[in-house]
Amino acid sequence: MNRTTSVVKNPSPWSNRPASPASRSPVWSVVAGVLVLGWQLVSVLPADAGIGDTPLPQFSDGKPAVSVLAVPGVVKRDRLQTDFLCTALGSAPVDIGVEIFGADGVLMNDVHAGVGAVLDVVPGSTVTIGTSGTAAFLETKVIPLPSLAQGSARVVASSDRVRCNVMIVDDLVNPPVTLAALGTGVRPAPGTVPAAIALPQFGAGRPATHSVLIPGAVKRSRNQTEFLCTSLATQPIDIGIQIFAPDGTLRNDVATGNGAVLGVAPGATVTLGTTGTAAFLETQVMTLQGVSQGMARVVSNSAEVACTALVLDSLVTPPTSMSGLTN
């Protein structure tokens, strides 16, 4: 099963329902006041950022977009690029776009201006939108971007009847040296999984409250594991990765900061690795010993985070091999 996101537009949320007694009463003025206050607060709160809460765009033909897919772990670095292969499955033409967000959550292309967008995709057609041209694929559209190391992306369309596969690909040769699928990742749920292993506290004294498991984490020779997590929250959160050896013993201490990134800003993507790799730019490298194949637990103090895990050759870029663990 693949987690995804999409949107139902509510064109007139204020008038779709009969007025309630509350809205006919003087309380209505209170509501209006609260809304005004809300908008004033928006100006002092963190700006919308990232795939979680950046407002959905309109395409250049005026059609509003819905979110089809949110992808943590998008890469554009050296020869590694990300391609989005999307097919229109509806019965009418649809607009399809890809929004790329940098590691800091900042939107890097404007679908409304046509950057990263393909309009009027006829039913059954497949479009490929890439962060660069590649030798392996034939891109319908290339998004001009600076190198972003690891960020995130949102596939948007004028209909939710669009489905995609997302690939990290070596852009220089065909067949590519590296080819790996990116999914929507995993998201932590409230509570402790497994129940027997208590959740840690982060260094700042904030307790981890959510967790999700990723079996098959590898740290052996040049084969290492990277965890690319994107915050979907509206306020800073803490994100940690705990690595367990084959015998189930915990190999790092999130409480001391080994495998933890604190205060991750809304929309930001952080990369934690079992080692430093040539392909990716790690926010933090965990200090670990003796894992071979084990298990990882993503911990956070919010449910609003999505993580992708990749096993890859750490020594060269593009890596000789790379596979997803969370697809």
Q: Scanning residues 208 to 227, which ones bind another protein (CB under 8 A)?
A: 209-210, 213, 215-216, 218, 220-223
Q: Is 60 in the site for another protein (CB under 8 A)?
A: no
CA distance 190 to 207: 12
Nearer to another protein, 121 or 149 (CB): 121
Residue 292 interacts with another protein (CB under 8 A)?
A: yes
Residue 251 backbone phi and psi in degrees, to 5: -105, -5
Q: How far is the CB of 146 from another protein (least distance, A)?
A: 25
Cα separation, 112 vs 122, in Å, equals: 19
Nearer to another protein, 146 or 267 (CB): 267
Tell me which stretch binds another protein (CB under 8 A): 73-81, 136-144, 269-277, 281-289: 136-144
DSSP character at residue 303: S
Rule CB under 8 A: choose which of 95, 99, 170, 226 binds another protein.
Answer: 170
Cα atoms found within 13 Å of the Cα of residue 294, Cβ hemisphere only: 24
Q: What is the largest CA-CA distance in the chain?
A: 70
Which residue in 60, 165, 201, 275 binds another protein (CB under 8 A)? 165
Footprint (CB under 8 A) of another protein, residues 251-280: none
> Is the distance from CB of 285 to CB of 277 less than 8 angstroms?
no
Q: How far is CA 137 from CA 116, 127, 142, 169, 174, in A?
A: 16, 11, 11, 9, 8
Q: Which of 197, 255, 265, 285 binds another protein (CB under 8 A)?
A: 197
Q: Which of 85, 255, 265, 278 contacts another protein by CB under 8 A?
A: 85
Q: Which residues are registered as beta bridge partners of 129?
A: 84, 141
Among 102-110, 145-153, 206-214, 279-287, which window interacts with another protein (CB under 8 A)?
206-214
Query: Which of 113, 138, 207, 276 lies at the binding interface for another protein (CB under 8 A)?
Result: 138
Q: Which residues contact 265 (CB under 8 A, 6 or more apart)?
A: 46, 49, 104, 105, 231, 236
Cα–Cα nearest to 100, from 42, 162, 163, 147: 147
Among the listed residues 90, 46, 92, 91, the one whose alpha carbon sits nearest the alpha carbon of residue 68: 90
- Pick the stretch among 104-112, 144-152, 273-281, 296-304 that binds another protein (CB under 8 A): 296-304
13 touches another protein (CB under 8 A) = yes
Rounded to a whole number of angstroms, the minimum distance from the CB of residue 62 to another protein is 16
Q: Which stretch binds another protein (CB under 8 A): 31-39, 111-119, 254-262, 273-281?
A: 31-39
Binding piece for another protein, criterion CB under 8 A, among 23-31, 71-79, 98-106, 281-289: 23-31
List binders of another protein among 90-109 (CB under 8 A): 91
Is residue 69 within 8 Å of 152, Cβ to Cβ? no
Contacts of 103 (CB under 8 A, 6+ apart): 148, 149, 150, 151, 268, 269, 270
Instruction: Please select the residue that binds another protein; options are 35, 47, 113, 204, rule is CB under 8 A.
Output: 35
Count of chain residues binding another protein (CB under 8 A): 113
Assess 205 for contact with another protein (CB under 8 A). Answer: no
